[in-house]
Structure 1
Amino acid sequence: MRHYGVIGFPLEHSFSPDYFKRKFELQNISDADYAAFPLRSINDLKKIIEEKKLQGFNVTIPYKEKIISNLDSLENETKEIGAVNCVKIENGKLVGYNTDALGFEISLNELLTGSHNNALVLGRGGASRAIKFVLKKKGLSFKSVTREKSSGDFLWSELNKKIISEHTLIINCTPLGMMPNEKSFPPIPYESLSENHFLFDLVYNPAETQFMKKGIEYGAKVCNGLRMLQIQADKSWEIWNR
């Protein structure tokens, strides 16, 4: 039996175990399993790998950046991104990959219509690194919104009608609105949104977040992160089976 899983904390929100369970059933894969491994500390990683005899695993909040120092090497593109969400274990060596970037790029290409040349990236966590990498690759201008000026272009409190109207693609890379905190949402001036805006929420549980609901209220197009999750999961599986 081949063993895989996802590490992070907390993991109640994660659809990854269910997604892989269905994938294995549909594809008649009987020699693999996938489980959630909540880690309160990244220092517990080695113990989990050895106890569960893992051959690969996904990485989610809050370890996409912290895990890098625990790896033996990074795939080239992942070095540029600076965040890891997929690890392959081969001959005892841990190699880091980023499949979030591919997941975001494909799902964005499938959904994005019209002219969106300027984007706002909400948050500065590991997920935002993959998003910025893709936006740069696509030649889109972007600004980041964070709690500290030193780590972003705008503070949350600085967002106003002018900034929102100039940035028609807004991507939520924060966990705000994610189960079990479904009532929370990024503090942006939603009343400044219009039908020209596209709101992409990396959160997928719940399926419709407060961020999305508020966008719909003001005529914006919206999307959650489920398709992105599916694409990155399939790419992870491909990497583990090379």
Structure 2
Amino acid sequence: MKEYGLIGYPLGHSLSADFFNAKFQTERINAVYKLFPMESLSELKGVLSQHRNLAGLNVTAPYKVSILRHLDRLDEEAALIGAVNTIRIERSRFRGPRLIGYNTDVSGFADSLELVRQPWHARALVLGSGGAALAVMRAMKKMGIEHRQVSRTPSDKTIYAYSDLTPDIIDRYKLIVNATPVGLYPHIDQCPPISFEGIGKEHLCYDLIYNPEETIFMHRARMQGATVHNGLEMLLIQALCSWRIWQEE
């Protein structure tokens, strides 16, 4: 039986195993999807040696960037982004497993955003500096959406600090994407430190988090009249993209 799985830490919020195992059962696929919570990527080698039928992995926070140094090859898109959320594992009798990295977050985000965005959502703020934020910004570049990154520790003047986000600046960017884990289960009482005063009915506030279904970020934006959207559709779209990669001959 082939095995697939998710690596990251923590993983208590994840619905990936439920999604894939339901898919396997419905389609009568002889496979299983497991969660592999890792406090350190040093544990990856042990997982690969203990699970010799492991054919593919998804990668979530905090390892979408740091996983790169553990891979044998990168898909062109993943190399451009600098982050990986999908690994195809190739095995042969005469050598150890080869790990090939891909990024399906880009298409997952872009396809889900197209379902809800309006023409005036042409300028965006992207909250976060991890692998998810890199994928979101790559998707926006491909979609022609002007965007600025927001970080707790800006590395240059093109990146906003959270303290820079006045209501006037918030008002100018009608699309705001939370690509941080702030608000993720079980820390559901947390929220990115932005000013909601500048948010109005023309805003779309998209949270990549899907557990809980409505984060405080989404709730506060909705109370200001904004349209809100969580990351469940993105999860499902990128998961199916991962599956297609794993099935390639």
Which residue of 1 is the match for residue 83 of structure 2?
83
Aligned residue type for 2:80: E
2:53 matches 1:48: no
2:198 matches 1:192: yes
Match of 2:159 among 153, 157, 164: 153
Shift of 1:102: 0.7
Aligned length: 241
Which residue of 1 is the match for residue 27 of structure 2?
27
Which residue of 1 is the match for residue 94 of structure 2?
none
Match of 1:110 among 107, 110, 115: 115
Unpaired runs of at least 5, structure 1: none
Q: Secondary structure at the match of 1:150?
A: coil
Aligned residue type for 1:122: L
Unpaired runs of at least 5, structure 2: 92-96
**CA offsets, 1:193-219, max 9 Å, x none?**
000100010000001111110011000
Aligned residue type for 2:32: D
Aligned residue type for 1:235: C
Aligned equivalents of 1:192, 1:76: Cα separation in 2: 38
TM-score (norm 2): 0.95
Aligned residue type for 2:136: I
Aligned residue type for 2:7: I
**CA offsets, 1:179-204, max 9 Å, x none?**
00001011111121000100010000
Which residue of 1 is the match for residue 105 of structure 2?
100
Q: Secondary structure at the match of 1:111?
A: coil
Aligned residue type for 1:236: S
- 4+ aligned runs moved over 4 Å, structure 1: none
Match of 2:171 among 158, 165, 169: 165
Shift of 1:114: 3.2
**CA offsets, 1:149-199, max 9 Å, x none?**
216611111110111011000000010110000010111111210001000
Match of 2:132 among 116, 127, 130: 127
2:75 matches 1:71: no
Aligned equivalents of 1:225, 1:19: Cα separation in 2: 14
Which residue of 1 is the match for residue 144 of structure 2?
139
Which residue of 2 is the match for residue 210 of structure 1?
216
Q: Secondary structure at the match of 2:115?
A: helix
Aligned equivalents of 1:148, 1:39: Cα separation in 2: 26
Aligned residue type for 2:200: S
2:36 matches 1:37: yes
